[in-house]
């Protein structure tokens, strides 16, 4: 098989029937020329940079190509599978090849297609593991980012943005190594848990020997029929003060990086926060509301009527007391003056073996143009936050999520152009 023939195949959508013809499998007993099969395997396999377009017919589909990666201002889906990976290689070239290999596969996953066409040979495992077969795209979004450790590992520290560094230690942090850090992240969000998991599973599988999963977390969100923000496992609405996904100007202020190779990208902060449900559940409603600074039922700030009502954090009642308690979560967060785009998911992962309590909580995820925005909020919460009594931060990671990909390009190209 010559190179030019390979290219011809790549540029053409090959149906299963064509494949049978190409490989001569339509005729029983015909031996296939060795080099010919090699060519076919390249097409069916993972190691070909074959541009794939966003499907125009797929239902429940989020587009891959665009100015920004999907999964940041994409309307929040019901499920997440978040994976933090370590790379096993040490060269920039291998990282570039990995992203080139992943790019067409990610588009296919987001199109709701099999990631790799079925092979004609049933004596080898299938290229796609298959559990999403028959499910539609389910609004799958894939967001890929790089962590600070990656730059050190590959010897490209000079390209590490100064903003990209491990978060400082915060009061009451109890970080565990097994939920912290990572060289790369894949955030897969979808309106179906299996579609989200399938995406991560298959991307990791195709990168066998190149990456390993350091930690991962599945999560869920449920949206009230009447609209408004989803409730976390403490039953309070989460994400109310997010910037609007249509307010370009505001997003530029809060979310999108505007300089360097990361221009058009964003920093992702992930925190695995255990929520002590048992202690929360024996707290009176009044105390719960004072802890958050909102009414549980409506989500309105204390002293207000509706979830999205604006409030003055410094407002006091006739007795000179803060209307929204000054130790409440919302009070302290607002007082910090910093803003972030929250995109969190709840998790329930079984039982804590040492205490027998629920292993449940929040996979907190936020996007911001500088991780310092998150740090400012978290420092403001500090030791004061009444919510601290009910939560423990167990995991932490920060990633620089690439800008969007235009057709013909690949994930992270801007980084490699900067090399």
Partner 1 sequence: MKKTSLLSVLVAGGILMTGCGNTDEAKKEDKPATEQAEKATVDLSVETAAYQKFALEQMDQFLLETEKFVNAFKAGDIEKAKAAYAPARMYFERSEPIAESFGDLDPRIDGRLADIKEEGKGEEEWSGYHKLEHALWVENKTAGYEAIADQLLADAKELHALVQTVEVSPDLMITGAVDLLNEVSTSKITGEEEIYSHTDLYDFKANIEGAEKIFEILRPKLEAKDKDLVATLDEKFKAVDDLLAKHATANGGYVSYEELTEENTKALAAAVNQLGEPLSQMGIILE
* Contact residues: partner 1, CB under 8 A: 16-17, 20, 23, 25-26, 28-32, 34, 37-38, 41, 118-125, 205, 208-209, 212
Smallest distance from the beta carbon of 46 to partner 1, in angstroms?
10
**Which token pair is 306?**
């509706």
Smallest distance from the beta carbon of 31 to partner 1, in angstroms?
7
Residue 119 vs 232, nearer CB to partner 1: 119
Smallest distance from the beta carbon of 285 to partner 1, in angstroms?
44
Residue 16 vs 306, nearer CB to partner 1: 16
Residue 15 vs 252, nearer CB to partner 1: 15
Smallest distance from the beta carbon of 21 to partner 1, in angstroms?
11
Distance CA 46, CA 56 (A): 24
Residue 42 vs 335, nearer CB to partner 1: 42
**Which token pair is 377?**
């909020």
DSSP labels, 221-270: ----TT-SPPB-TTS-B--TTPPPTT-HHHHHHHT---SGGGTT-EEEEE
Of 267, 298, 242, nearest in space to 76 by CA? 242
Specify whether the CB–CB gap between 274 and 392 falls below 8 A: yes
- Alpha carbon of residue 62 to chain centroid: 14
Distance CA 221, CA 232 (A): 8
Of 73, 390, 344, nearest in space to 217 by CA? 344
Residue 65 vs 89, nearer CB to partner 1: 89
Residue 37 vs 348, nearer CB to partner 1: 37
Residue 30 vs 351, nearer CB to partner 1: 30
Cα diameter, the chain: 92
Smallest distance from the beta carbon of 8 to partner 1, in angstroms?
21
Residue 31 vs 225, nearer CB to partner 1: 31
Smallest distance from the beta carbon of 215 to partner 1, in angstroms?
13
Distance CA 224, CA 234 (A): 15
Smallest distance from the beta carbon of 213 to partner 1, in angstroms?
10
Distance CA 375, CA 336 (A): 10
Burial class (CB in 10 A: 0-12, 13-18, 19+), 239: middle
- Alpha carbon of residue 195 to chain centroid: 14
Could you give the count of Cα atoms lying within 13 Å of 144 in the half-sphere of its Cβ? 22
Smallest distance from the beta carbon of 32 to partner 1, in angstroms?
6
Specify whether the CB–CB gap between 90 and 19 falls below 8 A: no
Tokens 């990633």 correspond to what residue? 399
């Amino acid at each position: 098989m010559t190179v030019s023939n390979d290219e011809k195949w790549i540029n053409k959508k090959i149906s299963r029937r064509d494949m049978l013809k190409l490989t001569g499998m339509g005729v029983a007993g015909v031996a296939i020329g060795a080099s010919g099969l090699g060519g076919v395997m390249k097409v069916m396999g993972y190691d070909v940079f074959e541009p794939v377009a966003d499907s125009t017919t797929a239902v429940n589909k989020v587009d891959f190509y665009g100015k920004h990666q999907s999964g940041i201002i994409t309307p929040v889906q019901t499920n997440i599978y978040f994976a933090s990976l370590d790379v096993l290689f040490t060269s920039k070239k291998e990282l570039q090849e990995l992203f080139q290999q992943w790019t067409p596969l990610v588009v296919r996953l987001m199109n709701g297609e099999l990631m790799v066409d079925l092979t004609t040979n049933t004596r080898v495992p299938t290229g796609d593991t298959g559990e999403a077969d028959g499910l539609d795209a389910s609004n799958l979004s894939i967001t890929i980012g790089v962590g600070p450790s990656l730059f050190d590992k590959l010897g490209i520290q000079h390209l590490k943005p100064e903003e990209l560094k491990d978060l400082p230690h915060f009061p009451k942090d109890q970080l565990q190594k097994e939920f912290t850090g990572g060289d790369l992240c894949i955030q897969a969000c979808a309106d179906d848990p299996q579609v989200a998991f399938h995406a991560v599973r298959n991307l990791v599988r195709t990168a066998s020997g190149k990456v390993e999963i350091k930690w991962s977390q599945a999560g869920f969100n449920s949206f009230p029929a009447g609209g408004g923000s989803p409730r976390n496992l403490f039953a309070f609405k989460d994400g109310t003060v997010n910037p609007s996904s249509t307010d370009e100007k505001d997003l530029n202020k809060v979310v999108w990086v505007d300089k360097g190779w990361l221009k058009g990208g964003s920093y992702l902060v992930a925190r695995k926060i255990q929520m002590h449900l048992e202690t929360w559940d024996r707290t009176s409603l009044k105390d719960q509301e004072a802890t958050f600074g909102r009414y549980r039922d409506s989500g309105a700030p204390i002293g207000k009527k509706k979830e999205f009502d604006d409030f003055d954090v410094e407002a006091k009642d006739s007795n000179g007391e803060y209307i929204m308690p000054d130790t409440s979560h919302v009070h302290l967060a607002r007082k910090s003056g910093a803003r972030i785009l929250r995109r969190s998911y709840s998790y329930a992962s079984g039982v804590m073996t040492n205490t027998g309590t629920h292993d449940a909580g929040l996979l907190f995820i936020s996007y911001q143009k500088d991780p310092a925005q998150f740090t400012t909020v978290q420092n403001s919460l500090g030791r004061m936050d009444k919510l601290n009594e009910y939560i423990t931060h167990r995991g932490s990671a920060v990633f620089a999520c690439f800008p969007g990909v235009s057709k013909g390009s690949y994930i992270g190209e801007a980084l490699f152009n900067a090399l």
